[in-house]
Amino acid sequence: MLKPVFMSSSISLQKLAELVGGELITGPGEEAITGIDSIIDAGPGDATFLGNVRYLSALKTTRASVALVPEDLDVSDVPPKLALIRVKNPTLAFSSLIRVFGPPASDFVPGVHATASVASDVVFDPQKVSIGPHAVIEEGVKIGDGTTIHAGVSIGRGVKLGMNCVIHSNAVIKERIGSCATIDRARFGRTWIGEGTKIDNLVQIGHNCILGKHCIIVSQTGISGSTRLGDYVTMGGQVGVAGHLEICDQAMFFAKSGVTKSIHQPGAYTGFPARPLMEGRKMLSLPAKIPDLLDRVRELEKKIAALEGGGQED
């Protein structure tokens, strides 16, 4: 069981192990840990974790000071400079560290700053919404109760914000994002949408996804967490993308494609699992030929049975 956690800016390895209910198996127990990050992006003083075996090679090259690892992991070839803490569930244990090292929640202060520009027809309750300095809210916007809009935010015409949203400084909410699209906040690190990328209605972008520049993501597409898209990637309607994948620049996926592995070559893909276009189309066409093939098999079975019957009579 995880122990209660408290806000702190620095913690020793031994205390960290106690905090997550794990066993420190390498490293000096008094080294100070001052932050958290992904296994790829972490640096000295950071804690990270191994939650997926796909990142086992990254564990050997990470610059982190300590990593939370599964209890059954073979650590014989992990560099000795990396401290390891064995835990039952690294992902769950790491979540407690997010609460330790993450930024404190800011106080909600309702009201509209004097320098904010809010159109006269914006629908909101000024006693239940916080709008910061120099924010610009254009015509036809609706803002749900409990929402905080920080300094310098620009919200375009007709945008609807639900309850308890937090829009951070200088964010722009306009046509790039369609209705009912969901972009998950990162567990740590960031979820990043590149310049010029267009997101259609009913799209799901998982936590810690990185989307490059000028991508087009069409309606009902779902991209699982920690997947990275290059620049100029196009995904048609209802494309499904598994997590922790790398998609190269200028890859294009036809509607209803299922991306189960990383894509390293630019070009068009289709099918499930997604294959290069001509190969994928061929695979998609095969099921339609099954009825004809069954008829041919039945005819062959009849001919074989007739020949076998004739042979027995002779």
Active site members:
207
What's the CA gap between 94 and 100, in Å, rounded? 10
Pick from 251, 261, 258: nearest CA to 229: 251
What's the CA gap between 293 and 70, in Å, rounded? 49
Helix (H) or strand (E) holding 262: none
Hey, what are 282's tokens? 């061929």
**How many residues belong to the chain?**
314
Hey, what are 1's tokens? 């069981």
Task: Please state, as a whole number, how many other Cβ atoms lie within 10 Å of the Cβ of residue 261.
Answer: 10
Residue type, 1: M
Q: Which residue has the tokens 């690190």?
A: 189
Cβ atoms of 136 and 154 closer than 8 Å = yes
What's the CA gap between 2 and 96, in Å, rounded? 8
Q: In this structure, what DSSP letter does residue 263 have?
A: B
Pick from 68, 51, 50: nearest CA to 59: 50
Cβ atoms of 40 and 62 closer than 8 Å = yes
What lies within 8 Å, CB to CB, of 17 at 6+ separation is 23, 24, 85
Strand 246-247 to 240-241 pairing = unpaired
Q: Which residue has the tokens 């949203």?
A: 165
List phi, psi (to 5°) of 280.
-65, -40
Q: In this structure, what DSSP letter does residue 301 have?
A: H
